């Protein structure tokens, strides 16, 4: 997609999502419970996307590859091996902030 206001409808109907490793794209997909293959852009300097993809893969939530290995990844993937992403707990962060800022 070049640009869309929201991918929510597309994510809802997807059986598999192939995406770059932007934090927003990864988290939105995983929160919807969709299997995710992250394709790394090898040309980025200080590639934080690679770090995120590797960590999510180590934790068992995504598969990752680069453009040249995408077909191989699709042919050999076992989506049943992926773990469900745990739901967020924003109340913990809010409680932490309240404590740090002296509201508790």
The rounded distance, in Å, linking the Cα atoms of 52 and 48 is 6
Q: What is the pLDDT of residues 59-102, one digit of tens each?
A: 999 999 999 999 999 999 999 999 999 988 888 888 989 899 98
Contact 37, 65 (CB under 8 A): yes
The rounded distance, in Å, linking the Cα atoms of 15 and 93 is 31
**How many other C-beta atoms are found inside a 10 Å radius of the C-beta of residue 27?**
14
55: confidence class by pLDDT, cuts 50, 70, 90: very high
pLDDT score, position 4: 80
- Full set of structural domains in the chain with CATH: 7-101 (3.40.50.2000)
pLDDT score, position 93: 87
The rounded distance, in Å, linking the Cα atoms of 27 and 22 is 9
45: confidence class by pLDDT, cuts 50, 70, 90: low
The rounded distance, in Å, linking the Cα atoms of 23 and 80 is 23
The H helix count followed by the E strand count for the chain is: 5, 3
Q: What is the mean pLDDT of the chain?
A: 91
């Amino acid at each position: 997609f070049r640009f869309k206001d929201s991918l929510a409808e597309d994510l809802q109907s997807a059986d598999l999502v192939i995406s770059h490793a932007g934090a927003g794209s990864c988290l939105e997909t995983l929160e919807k419970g969709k299997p995710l293959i992250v394709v790394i852009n090898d040309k980025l300097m200080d590639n934080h996307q690679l770090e995120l993809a590797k960590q999510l893969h180590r934790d068992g939530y995504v598969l990752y590859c680069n453009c040249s290995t995408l077909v191989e990844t699709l042919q050999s993937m076992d989506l049943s091996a992926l773990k469900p992403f745990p739901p967020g707990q924003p109340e913990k962060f809010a409680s932490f902030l309240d404590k740090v800022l002296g509201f508790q």
